[in-house]
Structure 1
Amino acid sequence: MKATKNLLSGAKTLVQKSPRDVVIVSALRTPFTKANKGGLAERAPEELLASVLDSTVKRSGLDQSAIEDVLVGTVLQTLGGQKVSASAVKAVGFPISTTVNTINRQCASSAQAISYLAASIQAGWIQAGIAAGVESMTFDYFPHRGIPTRFADSIKNSGVQEAQDVMVPMGITSESVAKKYGITREVQDQFAKASHDKAHAAVVSGHFKHEIAPVGEVVADDGVRANVSLEKLGSLKPVFAEDGVTTAGNSSQITDGASAVVLMSRQRAQELGMTPIGKFIGSVTAGVPAALMGIGPALAVPKLLKAYDLEVKDIDVFEINEAFASQSVYCMQQIAIPEEKLNPSGGAIAIGHPLGATGGRLAAAVLNNLRARNGELGVVSMCTSTGQGYAGLFVKE
């Protein structure tokens, strides 16, 4: 849903309940594991998606016939991911009446799936659906690494710099953000260490059991490290520029995974006997220079807060995707997010970033962390390739 001043606003108003609310009754993800060598590397994307959808049905007791539409965020999968997605939905028993569509807003794809599905429910077009996401970076990231192998000379030589900049590799955009805004290597490594420390603490405490659905014998993320040291991080060489500050240690991990978030009107949830765990309020997007794409949340989050008459202090948890430590640190500083409110159970530097599935993971994470902290309002945000930022607002039930 697009946020406007005509919608409900203000923290006290947003937590009130209405039959027209778009509620979330389940938010799960698979473990996120390293591409090429992790526990899910041999699983095709349709298997990953089918697994999380099957777990969603079994854990929630969902009546599959109630799901009218499934929107799947996916970035790299073959033929736009439609055949991957439709085969997975059908394989786990959803009826022919359940339709399937795919969405690609790069790293915000499954977050955008949540927004579009919520808008359909709010408009009365459907009553219930699933916003999912999937990415097997093992299968579809190499060898092009997210850069098209063909690029028309008419665009390349057009003289329009912004059109050319959408092809800039993501690691180079990280270096550009660090250089332009003075984000040092030391600060980035400290941020990366904190991501691992928080994620490891969450693993030890059992926090992730509320959001992870095992895939066969794979039950946990495999990128989270205990006792990550600044010395070790500091010894890693820059990946994208000889004199750069972006390393494998302070960047998100290339991973495989899937996610699924079930949304419906509050009235439909009551009819089905489903208990909401949260509700989705709305979202915004913001355009930024493609060569500095990582700053997207720094524009999208303030835009979201303004739309709903909120301030940073009103938000209990911020889940901002850690594409790179450089842009994460910059966004945290620009928005003035207190460290204790940002990614309380770690982020993509520790957990991983399977592009199309990340938005769903962040939705599950924000609701799980709000539950653990007894908070009410949460924000999910991420930057996206090509120069965009996304931000969505959630309420814990």
Structure 2
Amino acid sequence: MNRSFPYVLVAAIVGILAGCATHVPEYPAPEATPTPTQPSPTDLPPYVVSGDTGPLPGPITQGKSRWTAVRWAELPGFGQDPLFEAWNAWIKSCERPGPVHAPLCKEVRRLSIGSGDEQRAWMVSRLQPYKVEPLQGSSDGLLTSYYEPMLDATRNPTSASAVPLYRPPASLGQRKPWYTRQEMETLPEAKAQLAGRAIAWLSDPVDALVLQIQGSGRLRITEADGSQRLVRLAYAGTNDQPYKSVGRWLLDQGLIRDATWPGIKAWIVQNPQRVNELLWSNPRTVFFREEVLSELDAAFGPRGAQGVPLTPGRSIAVDPTSIPYGTPVWLASPGPLAQLQKLVFAQDTGSAITGAVRADYFAGWGPEAGEFAGRVKQPLKLWVLWPK
């Protein structure tokens, strides 16, 4: 999922409004939603490697980040993470590995049937952890989260479903920036260029905005003959207009004090005549392409910027100038919602994901993941795991 645009429910419209991933850039059964995280205690014993007392490698400069080598014992929770949950994400990264990690992929695949102890021992023998810090400024990091919405839609417009989701118009590359969100809905010339380009129709314009913010989603489409099918809408481009947070617009207008989903929803219910004004405050629109969602595809998320399917709870969006795609990363983030200490993989990006210690955590799909993603905004520390 190309998340070169800004990135759950409308809580995301503020939380993720500040956050992203392409992303983005999930499912044995389409309805299933994996548990995004499992809280970890903060007082776990360190993972001590016997004989790990030799000199450490020197620092590495990567873009605007500095990597400083550390001992494995400095990675909080490393001895307790169920690594088998992360291994599928690592195997996915090996479908399109970077040149530095590609030589490890044969061993990674072989260890897919190994025990957690075997996997941990191999990582210690083959990788060196480096703490990621900015070259300048505060070392405080930020973790947000994104997800894949799942919505009901119709193939054709109806009285109840009249909000279109478009594939890119033929003239998209001929005009930069393309028409704004408001112009697409009001100008005859813009509407003419979108004629026949709708993939499906939703009942709620706010759902459409959330889908565009996330960059991809799943639709349960009711076809013209009454049958239903599950498809994925993947990111296919934008109108190149600037992204503006509708939550920030409400705050700046003095219309709400509670920029959360309940607060925004309450305002929408009380001001239905101003919904277009709210939506038009964000001129940016995302276009999609429809993808068949096979049973195998349904077990993973959309493809991230690395070009591999995202794994819930194990894929993150990063600034690729600071952390290259495909890099295994140790993530530690204390917060009221979740204590995260786990192995993840840099497989996506987003325009709001900039800086050395910045990540967007892929939570999965559906309402549960959306609720989680809309609430996560907490401190972050990152360590890249680089081949020795």
TM-score (norm 2): 0.25
Flag the structure with higher strand content. 2
Higher relative contact order (CA 8 A, sep 6+): 2
